[in-house]
Structure 1
């Protein structure tokens, strides 16, 4: 059953598909079983930028949805390089962002040339210009990435101090501001549970947003999550996170006036006299993390940096890259290897506070 955020992404996806050529919709339909709706939406946003560029360069006159396959087949490599040039110097995209957009285009063109076929069993296009275009070289190695990350995550005592700040100290900071103090008192348990849950599991923002009450195993301290590619997996979280979650659950139903049919784990209060409590949105969680991070004195913190903070501690305490890869849901072990390059003497302080149950043998978990 689709969650509220998945339904929202689906509606946005269907809306933007109406603006794009028919063969893009066919490609998206082909990829729906393999990619999340959020990923497909990002693909379509990238395609819209590309097709709008085609019109702006006067390579086609008319709505972008009418751009024919024949035009794609006759694009020159120099023209595509011009598009990538505009991404960098006109839209200020970084090389890694340009690579992502190019990857989306390569995937579409590959489908049109090697997978899709017309009624005569011929491919949609015979010439694939994207196959000639190379990705930007990214000079950052794992150690460089790790060093850049190191100053933006929680290390040593900061890990527990930030959780404690959300649970208690922020209230002292804003006690003279009645509006901020009241808002904090209403959401203190919920916000603490969210921060603690990310710090104690390393879940992605979308995975936290989509959690339902029934997804939590209160005996094994694990949560059922839908990872990238719509893959179901059970992920462990810390005992501290469970304690904070249970404190929140004691007040969730009464304080937020949650209706029984609302199974969302993390909810927002109803808005207006006839409003209903609702699942917290990704942006709402991002904003609450930003609020506490700024007040804590570490404004660089984000949901993703909290995930990095968890991964760094996990690697330090357990030192098992394959297990960490599974916990984080990485498709490539190279991504997980970043955390083996973060070097900071304060990390040893975190060991005694680390409280993550040893995962069961792989065969006993639900992949």
Structure 2
């Protein structure tokens, strides 16, 4: 899939700056994690090791930080690092937890999996095992309530789709440059939004789609999910209709060569440019543009995924199937959608104020 090779190139550049045992750990995880996940891990480790040097716990290059330094770290020093993340880098509690999780995984490998030639662990003492995660105070209901105002509900699904297909063009018709740009891309943009709203695909999964990943008879898209797992994800008939409309104009309008297998493409830049795969940032920007004009500026690619999941749960009410559709590793992540738009609960609460004789 696209972008995998780019991620691995970036990963290799970062690993060149990190200690050898981090490189060994990343190689150990390659069979289980995607290139994007490994790259995130490497970024987190670079921040940690650079902090060790900045705190004068090591004087040479971070690449040369020895295992005995990790073994000698105190819980107070690790807590100081976590405070640095939260109060100096402005990381949210959930982000601090994610970076701590990455460090816990590395230290666990060094203590319990990796072995020297004489069958001794790399680390005999694991300070990260003593560090607790931040307690995320928000309940699922609170998170769901915050999300509800930022996603599409009810007839907004079709209104947003129609807005991209036609109404946005009408709204900006007096700006010739914007209008012509919309004319060029409206079928493509409609297909992208329709596909996310009709499947719940992640941004990276949409970006990496190739032409031959679509099964037109089964209404499925082949994607590589987190953990490098291949999965065929179902999408709606409306999404298929919009996708087919885009594919009818894709090759001629974007001047795409047959060798370019990217599903969603961008027009060539400049006279010598060539059409290219649409990037993640480009898709984010086009959604942001339409969201602001539509009157829901908080709407994003990820919120479109949430919109699909909420609608699916309301109509199907099958959490295990929704979990598979979204590619969640934990069902707890999927359970958040059971707290959005809980009309049965609202009705029950409303009935409490009605005199019993009237119920």
Q: Same fold (TM over 0.5)?
A: yes
Q: 1:143 aligns with which of 120, 141, 144?
A: 141
Equivalences for 1:1-367 in 2 at 5 Å? 3-343=1-341
> Cα distance, 1:4 vs. partner?
2.8
Distance 1:223 1:339 in 2: 23
User: Counterpart of 1:360?
Assistant: none
Deviations 1:252-307 (Å, cap 9, x if unpaired)? 01111111111110011112222221111111111111111011110101110000
> Cα distance, 1:344 vs. partner?
6.0
| Kept in 2: contact 1:99–1:135 (CA 8 A) | yes
| Kept in 2: contact 1:5–1:281 (CA 8 A) | no
RMSD: 0.9
Distance 2:25 2:262 in 1: 32
User: Counterpart of 2:357?
Assistant: none
Q: Which has the higher contact order (CA 8 A, sep 6+)?
A: 1
Distance 2:111 2:179 in 1: 59
Distance 1:266 1:100 in 2: 31
> Cα distance, 1:91 vs. partner?
0.9
TM-score by structure 1 length? Answer: 0.92
Distance 1:85 1:322 in 2: 37
SS of 2:231's partner is strand
SS of 1:232's partner is strand
> Cα distance, 1:77 vs. partner?
0.6
SS of 1:4's partner is coil
- The runs of at least 4 consecutive aligned structure 1 residues that moved more than 4 Å come to none
Deviations 1:119-169 (Å, cap 9, x if unpaired)? 211111111000000001111111111111101100112111101100110
Distance 2:247 2:163 in 1: 20
SS of 1:179's partner is helix
> Cα distance, 1:83 vs. partner?
0.4
SS of 2:121's partner is coil
Distance 1:295 1:21 in 2: 48
Deviations 1:55-77 (Å, cap 9, x if unpaired)? 11100001111111111010001
How many pairs were matched up?
Answer: 343
| Kept in 2: contact 1:222–1:237 (CA 8 A) | yes
